[in-house]
Structure 1
Amino acid sequence: MSLLEIKALTQNFGGLCAVSEFFVKFEGRELMALIGPNGAGKTTVFNITSGFYKPSQGDIVFKGKSTVGMKPHQVTAMGIARTFQNIRLWNDMTVLDNIRISQHYNLGYSIWDSLFRTKKYVKGEEQIKTTALTILEALELMPYINELPKNLPYGIQRKVEIARALSVKPDLLLLDEPAAGLNSADVHELIELIKWIHKEFDITIWMIEHQMSVVMSLCTKIKVIDFGVTIAEGTPEEIQNNPDVIKAYLGDENI
């Protein structure tokens, strides 16, 4: 059974077809990239996969079960976590609380347990905090646990967002342009971090990224879309020399 299989995925917004007949399959533990020019439909694919959009057509099967129609928190509970192109952290909460709150989709206690501070509530909160601290320590973020994200350097904010996604213990991690806005030193650190996460957490990673140095350093397979249509799929070497990909990025005169 495949970890994830997307079949004939199509997304229309009014008269615009953002994604057309998209297919992909993950067996598990891959590190794959989805690339394409701006407006190609990449983030739309991620939004559908993570439950933010319901597709116009097609199916998404994760661990043998269709996720079409599920809410984002239900998709997360199944084992799909993501980051966003524009960092979405709760800036008025500490780094620790950002990681803690991400786990509340799967609380082991009721609202009554919370109101009366029952043993179940105390045990649940202790477990959530332990998980959060474990993730923060693994990603070397412990010096920042009491800081507000808005006061941290951009590269650290990216790491916090990745930590938050990992805290839900996903089988599939979606990274939407993780290198966006980072300087060269932070990009190098990010590459090493993603390599470490892939190995240490033993998970599948699917990433959207415009910086080809990141894609070529990390991914063994790349899928390319343009105007919502898949135009190429293969190894980094195959993609780098594909005339359709060069045309999509640079135009006809460069072929």
Structure 2
Amino acid sequence: MAKRSASNLPWLLGVGGLLCLLLLWWLGVRLFGSADGLAARFAPAATLASLLELLGRAELYEHVLVSLKRILVGLALALLVGVPLGLLIGSYRHLEAATTPAFQFLRMISPLSWMPVVVMLMGVGDQPIYFLLAFAAVWPILLNTAAGVRQLDPRWLQLSRSLSATRWETLRKVILPGVLGHVLTGVRLAIGILWIVLVPCEMLGVSAGLGYFILDTRDRLAYSELMAMVLLIGALGFALDSLARGLHRRWTHLP
């Protein structure tokens, strides 16, 4: 019985933290806005009512699927670029020394600052969004992959060479399994960045997605729906992070 209570404690503490956040939200609306003014549209009761209404609309799920598709495409592009580059940089010290200043410089540029340039070059639509998302997500994947290669046990590589393994066999049997945990850490970090960058990217003249729907609620002065979308974006981001965390935990606990 005591063990069961101890195992439920983190879950109960998490629920308690969310309830405290809800209480602070309610207090903020009551203290800084009038009961019948604009602030009332942002109150928890109005927001949750609008959220329940939105969940009954098929239109909402279309926007969610479009956004999730963009996240997956951006993440896939980042993996295709970041993992091979990370393997190369982690394997060759001179290449790491040559590329680190340039990569650190590019990493520090906000992806959103590229928005005007990308729109002028690619126009509006999905292509600039895919580029911006991939640019945002590639750095944690690349850096974590390179760190994973550097932390490989040298004895594994020596054993591979002693068994006359080819480079491809060493990569497939030794290096990739050894760095997968680091790659998954990079993926989790990348998902968090992607989800933050996605909403402003979807304000680039597209006609679907969560960012577009937030602009639509603003233009219609549907402020309770706007807050409902903010809640939904937070919930979806939390679910994606939990999925990535679960994959990482499952991999690191494999025998």
Q: Report if TM-score (shorter chain) is over 0.5.
A: no
More strand by share: 1
More helix by share: 2
